[in-house]
Every structure is written in C-alpha cells, then in structure tokens.
Amino acid sequence: MSVLRIDNLSIGFRTASGDNRVVDDISFSVERGETLSLVGESGSGKSVTALSVMRLLGEDKVVYPTGRIHLNEHSVLDASEKTLRELRGSAVSMIFQEPMTSLNPLHKVYRQVAEMVILHGGAKKEDVRTRVQSLLEMVGLDHQRFLDAYPHELSGGQRQRVMIAMALANEPDLLIADEPTTALDVTVQQQVLDLLKQLQQQLGMSMLLITHDLGVVDYTADRVCVMQQGKLVETGTKKQVIESPQHPYTQMLVHSVPSGKPHPVTEDAAVLLHTHDLNMAYYKSAGWFGRQVVAHQAVKNMTLQLKQGETLGIVGESGSGKTTLGMSLLRLVDSDGAILFDGQPVDGLNQKQLRPLRKAFQVVFQDPFASLSPRMTVGDIIEEGLRLHFPDLDKTARREQVIQALIDVELTEDYYYRYPHELSGGQRQRIAIARAVALRPKLIVLDEPTSALDRSVQAQVIALLRGLQQRYQLSYLFISHDLAVVRAMSHRVMVMKDGELVEQGEASAVFESPQKPYTQQLLSASMLN
C-alpha cells in the first residue's frame, strides 16, 4: 500500500501578471519502506511538490487547479487544520533545505528538539531530556556540547543534523528529506545517509528524497523521478535512470560534473592577504564572577597567504573551523594574530576604521535565502552596498552599476524588481554574488556558495565565478565540503581538522597525491570520485 500517492497535481502561484504554474500535472507514489528521489534543477518544482504534501505553501498565493494528494489514505488537499496537525505530527515529517531559516535563532538546541518530542512524541516530561540526548547522539552530535548551543554557534552541517534529529523525533511513516546532506562534508554525509537508511529499516519508514546530488541518489534511492520545469520527464528504478537515462534532460544531469581548472595566476601577482598565527576561540562565563574561559578553540595557529587573482580552497569536515577562519579574516568575528590585507595591518583596527576597507573584501554566504532580505527587491539588495560605500554616486549611476552587476552574473535587467522568494536557489545565489561584485572588491570569501545547488547549476556558477575572477582579478577564499567543486575552482588547497591545518599545497598535488591520512579519508569518502 502506498504511503503517499499524488495524482495529476498542478500548482501555481498567483502573481500580478497572472497564475504562474510551477508544477504541471504530475503523478507518482511512494510505497511503504521505499525511498523515492525527486531530481531536477533549481526551480524545477521539486521542493514545491514536497511542501504541498504537508500543505506548507502559503495558500493565499497558491492555486491548486487540479490533482489529489493522499497520505495514508487521507486526502491532504481537503483535510481540516486539525487533521493536518495530526498528519504532520505522526504520518509525515520534513527536513528542510535551509536549516538556519528553519531553526529559531532565539532558542537553544535542547528546547527546539524537545518541542518536537513533547508535541508529537508523547514523551513524559522526565523522559524528554534523555530522548533529546539520544536523538542528538543518533545524528552524530555530542549532547554535552550542543544541548545548550544556539543555532548561530553551529556550523551549517551541525545545524542540518539538528533538523534531522527534530524530524526523526516523530518516527514518521513518511520522511520528506529536502536536500538533507546539502551542508554536510563527505564523511558526515555518508554517516547521515547510513543513519537514515538504518532508521528506515527499523521503522518501516518511507522516504521522499529531494536532492541535486546524483551520488546521494545512487547511494540511497530505490526509484527516481526527474523533474524539469514542473513536469515529470522520466521515472524508473535507480539503475535505469542513472545508468541508462532516456530523456535528454536526464542525460544532461547525469553528465553534469564540475570540471575544468581556474585560470593561472600571473607570475608577478602580489600577495593580497597574509595572516600569521591566527587564533579564534569561543568563550563562556564560569565561576561566581562570570570569568571568561575558552569553550571551544575554533581556529588554531593558522598561517596562510593569498595572491591577487588566486583561489585558495579550504576543505574539511563540518565544525573543522573553515567558516570561522573566513569570518576571522574578514574581521566579522574577533580573533588573535596578525592579518595583513593589501599590505595594511587590519587586525588592530576597530569597526569604524574598518568600514572604508569593507568594500575591498566581501563575502557570499552559504544560505542565500537567509542572507537576502525578503522585504527588499533585488535592485535594492545590490544597491544597498553602493549607497553605503559610494555615497557620491547619484541614483542613475547606482542603477547602472546594479544592472551591470546583474549582467555580470548572467541575469537580465528585469530581475531588478523581483523579490528573493520569487527566485530559485541558483538565482538567489547569483544575486548574492552580484551584491558582492558590484562593489568591485579585491577579495571575496565564498562560504559553500554551491552547496544548495544542483549539479548542472553548480557547473554554471563555477564557470561564472572563474569568469568574474579573470575579468576583475578577484581573489577567492573558497570554503566548501564538496571536493569536486573545490578541485574545479582552486589553485591551492588547505585541509583543516579541529581548527588546525592538516595539509596544504597545489590543488592537483593534494587531490592526486594526498600525504596525510585525514586528507586520504576525505577523498575516499567522496561519492563523486
């Protein structure tokens, strides 16, 4: 018997210009104990389809022209709010793609996981803490360290694992996993997928897996549905779809693997960024007088150099200190140690002294939806930095530079008046890149810029970044857990573990002849090799 059955479902969004259909007459089912994977480019309708299963779309702006959704024989589209709450609590649960926007920034991890246990798990009050600890350990998080942590204190991968723990607390019949391993490094990725498969067998749970990573599909799925522009273009078993794709679009997806190399750095390129013995620690209060003690040493004695026009790839497991290193170099978090940018010491400058330099070093964050204001248009988002750093520009000049930034990231002028929620993940990330490039910086820190994108869009963004680097002689600090992307982007690579440098060298040397066991482990765990 099917846990989920979708028949002739069409979904459209109400817009000023009329109804925009994003899911077009699709039908499929998920059997008990089965894993069905929805695959397709950003904007193909995968996540909208998944959200419709739980009626989580804003129904004031959504049209359901036709179709039926049955969940354990309940008609979802006709269900009352009371029935929906019951279904969401026991029949179906969801792991969302963007954990930072799904977790409450004001509440600690314990409270957020406990809420799921209390509301839907039926646990007694005295058993809640034990259950929460068990769930965190199940997803590979040390409960002693993470129970009292806030989401902003966690890495992207750690936040995603908290979301998985919350979803598993319900022991649902159907787990909808929307890019569940997007933020995870290759070693933890396999652990989480193994965990989901193990729990699936234990609970007889079905899984609807939404992913752009065909390596994950190959490792996890039983059957595959491929979506393009809201339509199902191919379905079949995993073996049929991956090994013998029939539709041209599926063939393109299967063969979209990051490739190529960055343009070589000129021999006389100057050193743009240099740091020596950089340390960054998180502190907590201890004792009667609130004395500050080190809670976690995130970066330890880090020394690096980055030349003009060069890309330095930073790889390592979630929580290894990659992002913290990048934020320390941008002076977005406090750290100890020497930092020289373009020959000028910046480690001793206060925020007011740093402001004139901010336009020279920019950042593109991992989660574009969280880093773009939902209340601002694309034009306002890109223009905001220009107003701050170039106050002498008039409105016409600012608009021209915004349009040029859109052209730089291969978007058209009509995106100027759109809002982030109207864009796909790949388009949002292009806007984040445009916002940085508009200021004509010398350095951009790219923090997992392709992690939320499907493979075909990843290849486009990589080509875009390489082209921008050559055009404007940009330097990149490229932080990623995706080794295939790092290899295609980086001139040199640094491998981090527990805040320390494990191995560094030319990208080709590190990937082809890794010297350290940890680097070898990362490469062997990569599903893309």
DSSP 408-470: HTT--GGGGG--GGGS-HHHHHHHHHHHHHTT--SEEEEESTTTTS-HHHHHHHHHHHHHHHH
The domain in which residue 403 lies consists of: 271-281+295-525
pLDDT band of 61, cuts 50, 70, 90: low
Looking at the domain assignment, is residue 339 inside a domain? yes
Q: Is the residue at 367 inside a domain?
A: yes
One domain for residues 393 and 519 = yes
Q: Name which residue leads in pLDDT, 49 or 215.
A: 49
Lowest mean pLDDT among 252-261, 406-415, 425-434: 252-261
Asked if 103 and 211 sit in the same domain, the reply is: yes
Which residue has tokens 């991968």? Answer: 157
Asked, for residue 290, whether it belongs to a domain, the answer is no
Q: What is the mean pLDDT of residues 387-409?
A: 94
Whole-number Cα distances in Å, 377 to 98, 113, 372, 414: 21, 34, 9, 11
Same domain, yes or no: 192 and 275? no
Strand-pair category, 271-286 with 500-506: unpaired
Residues 522, 186 contacting (CB under 8 angstroms): yes
Asked whether residue 245 falls in the same domain as residue 277, the answer is no
- How many other CB atoms sit within 10 Å of the CB of residue 320? 25
CA distances from 152 to 34, 99, 108, 332 (A): 35, 11, 10, 13
Average pLDDT, the chain: 88
Distance (Å, whole) CA 76 – CA 3: 12
Q: Label residue 413 by pLDDT band (50, 70, 90).
A: very high
Residues 243, 323 within the same domain: no
* Average confidence (pLDDT) over 466-486: 93
Q: Is 528's pLDDT higher than 70? A: no
Residues 6+ apart with CB under 8 A from 55: 76, 77, 79, 84
415, 430 in Cβ contact below 8 A? no
**pLDDT (0 to 100) of residue 267:** 87
- Report, as an integer, the average pLDDT of 237-265: 90
Quickly state the pLDDT bin for 529 (edges 50, 70, 90): very low
| Segment 403-424 mean pLDDT | 92
Q: 308 and 218, same structural domain?
A: no
Residue 325 is inside which H or E element, if any?
helix 322-329
Q: For residue range 152-211, what is the model confidence (pLDDT) as tens digits?
A: 888 767 888 898 888 888 788 999 998 887 666 777 777 778 878 888 888 889 999 998
Gap between the Cα atoms of 83 and 94, Å rounded: 17
SS3 271: strand
Please indicate, yes or no, whether residues 340 and 246 belong to a single structural domain of this protein: no
What is the distance of C-alpha 168 from the center of its chain? 20
Residue 289 in domain: no
User: Average of pLDDT values for 479-506?
Assistant: 93
Name the nearest CA neighbour of 466 among 490, 438, 442: 490
Q: Are strands 2-15 and 18-31 parallel, antiparallel or unpaired?
A: antiparallel
Among residues 440, 437, 441, 431, the alpha carbon closest in space to that of 411 is found at: 431
Give the lowest-confidence range in 53-62, 133-142, 325-334, 338-347: 53-62
Inter-residue contact 165 to 154 (CB < 8 Å): no
Q: Give the pLDDT band (50/70/90) at residue 288.
A: low
Q: Round to the nearest angstrom and report the end-to-end CA distance of the chain.
A: 37
**What is the per-residue pLDDT for 284?**
74
- Looking at residue 20, its pLDDT comes to 76
What is the band of 88 on the pLDDT scale with cuts at 50, 70, 90? Answer: confident
pLDDT band of residue 57 (cuts 50, 70, 90) is confident
Amino acid at 447: D
264 lies in some domain: no
The stretch 20-24 carries a mean pLDDT of 86
Task: Give 279-314 as a DSSP string.
Answer: EEEEEEEETTTTEEEEEEEEEEEEEEEEETT-EEEE
Residue 223: CATH number of its domain = 3.40.50.300
Give pLDDT, residue 212.
Answer: 77
> Are the C-beta atoms of residues 475 and 437 closer than 8 Å to each other?
no
**Average pLDDT, integer, range 44-72:** 82
Q: Say whether pLDDT at 257 is over 70.
A: yes
The domain tally of the chain equals 2
Please check whether residue 263 lies inside any domain of the structure.
Answer: no
Do 233 and 379 belong to one domain? no
Q: What is the per-residue pLDDT for 42?
A: 73
pLDDT for the residue numbered 117? 84
Collapsing DSSP to helix, strand or coil, 527 comes out as coil
d(CA 133, CA 147) in angstroms, rounded, equals 8
Question: The tokens of 353 are what?
Answer: 């002294």
Which has more confidence, 261 or 185?
Answer: 261
pLDDT > 70: percent of the chain: 93
pLDDT higher than 80, residue 6: yes
| Mean pLDDT, range 41-55, rounded to an integer | 86
For residue 108, the one-letter residue type is K
Instruction: Using pLDDT thresholds of 50, 70 and 90, give the confidence band for residue 63.
Output: low
Orientation angle between helical segments 109-120 and 125-138, nearest 10 degrees:
120
CA–CA distance, 515 with 403 (Å, rounded to integer): 46
User: Does residue 248 sit in the same domain as residue 337?
Assistant: no
Measured CA to CA in angstroms, residue 173 lies from 84, 93, 123, 220, 493 at distances of 14, 8, 18, 17, 43
Q: How far is CA 435 from the centre of its chain?
A: 18
The pLDDT tens digits for 112-164 are 999 888 876 566 677 888 889 988 988 888 888 899 999 988 876 788 889 88
Mean pLDDT of 387-413: 94
